[in-house]
Structure 1
């Protein structure tokens, strides 16, 4: 863990997550603010904005940080023993920080007479329990897509992984945006809440996605596509990171990234 902390590649990844999250939340919130008049066409616009933003940033930053850009994705990859505990904790911290910074920037750029909600996620005619279930399912399919398309042990994956993941984000929003605003990204939900200081039912947007991310990793690794690795070897990744990831003499780079296969 100390070796990882001292490595420049680790901190480049952290910076990439901070920049990527800031850009993602800025783009997504501005799209949502322009769509606060309800309507199916507006929901499609916001869903596409979220999906295309993730696809673009995943393509741009995947080789640096893995382009998680979502605490639920980070937790899912941690559960799958693909990243270290240190990387997961630091990534989630900077993801939340980036989302808060972006929300503050958008808030500062709004006209003084604008009383918008800053894209704040809220429940619409459903209970918190129902909302948790919705958020769990949409995040489950996203993290399942991330883990499946970035699995380096697969040789059958073709096409663009960033595009597939972006479409998964758009799909989740199309399904959930009418009910919760789609909080499948806890950091994105936290940013506006922190700036507006409104945390009503905010726990929903952490519990649902985080449980969904963990569930997706467990289902993929132990049911859908069991790994032949011995569990003790996989658990070593939680402490030391991927083998060869910080060995400058090794040509291998096992970082979990969203790239084409």
Structure 2
């Protein structure tokens, strides 16, 4: 029954969105002329900007008295702080803007969604541009409110000195594979929804930071790494944070769609609902009930207005 109610809710949301854009979807570039398309791009810009600003702010070694923490070691408390900040902030942004754009805030996620045809190529391209600009803007704002002595490293992600570029690509690939696999599974419209998708994704981001920061910084997000790189002007091995996440994200999306998806050869949610409606065990509410409820509400409103005249 939970799946039935989720289906009805999604169906109503689709009807409302189609009414807003004034017609059905379908053509490759038709969405470019719709306000909902540009609203989603704006949401990706704002969401990525705030995500990068708060997330990278947690990496600044500034104490309450204005002094700086020694940079000779990366202690466990700081790793937990950074991991929780990035995880909780991505969950917050998904809760705020996920229903507007899908809540990607990450070029690797947008590319993965385009590869599996969940979004159009033009939407993916515009998302990536807005995410990169938003991330740079968020890191630039952080630079504006941070003392000059910290500007050399505004949350830059770097490969551990004892590892090489290949290790960095491998780490980022695996971390992003896990992240996108989580996203694909937890947002699958065919499954019953248990708990909050935003919390699940945020928890995954936090856990991957706990384990991955000492290896490669646990970026998993090209826009997040690009932002720190541009504002701090430090380009060492930056390509690692594009190649690794994109490879891992696309691999995870394709694996879920063609290997792990348990609903691939089963009835769609719409077909399952139709089967449920045709079942003799179902008790259906007559259409007249809704018309009667509407008339009853209207009559009640008239009575209230009359009583105040």
Q: 1:6 aligns with which of 15, 19, 33?
A: 33
- Select the structure with the greater relative contact order (CA < 8 A; seq sep ≥ 6): 1
| CA offset digits 1:77-96 (Å, max 9, x no partner) | 11221100011000000000
Where 2:128 maps in the other structure, the secondary structure is helix
The CA distance in 2 between the partners of 1:82 and 1:139, in whole Å, is 18
| CA offset digits 1:138-189 (Å, max 9, x no partner) | 100100111111111223x311000000011111111110111112111000
The CA distance in 2 between the partners of 1:109 and 1:115, in whole Å, is 10
Q: 2:230 aligns with which of 174, 194, 201?
A: 194
| CA offset digits 1:210-253 (Å, max 9, x no partner) | 00000001110111116249xxxxxxxxxxxxxxxxxxxxxxxx
Q: 1:174 aligns with which of 202, 210, 213?
A: 210
Alignment of structure 1 residues 237-256 onto 2, 5 Å: none
Structure 1 position 116, deviation (Å): 4.0
Q: 1:84 aligns with which of 120, 135, 145?
A: 120
Runs of 4+ in structure 1 over 3 Å off: 34-37, 113-116
* Matched-pair contact (CA < 8 Å) for 1:33–1:116: no
Alignment match, 1:242: none
Q: 2:189 aligns with which of 128, 152, 173?
A: 152
**Is 1:31 aligned with 2:67?**
no
**Is 1:138 aligned with 2:175?**
yes
State the number of aligned residues.
228
Where 2:195 maps in the other structure, the secondary structure is coil
Structure 1 position 115, deviation (Å): 4.8
The CA distance in 2 between the partners of 1:112 and 1:72, in whole Å, is 32
**Is 1:21 aligned with 2:48?**
yes
| CA offset digits 1:11-62 (Å, max 9, x no partner) | 1100000000000000001001137742001100100000000001101111
Structure 1 position 114, deviation (Å): 3.4
**Is 1:224 aligned with 2:236?**
no
| Structure having the higher Rg | 2
Gaps of 5+ in 2: 1-27, 63-68, 267-309
Indicate the RMSD between aligned Cα atoms, in angstroms: 1.5
* Matched-pair contact (CA < 8 Å) for 2:143–2:151: no
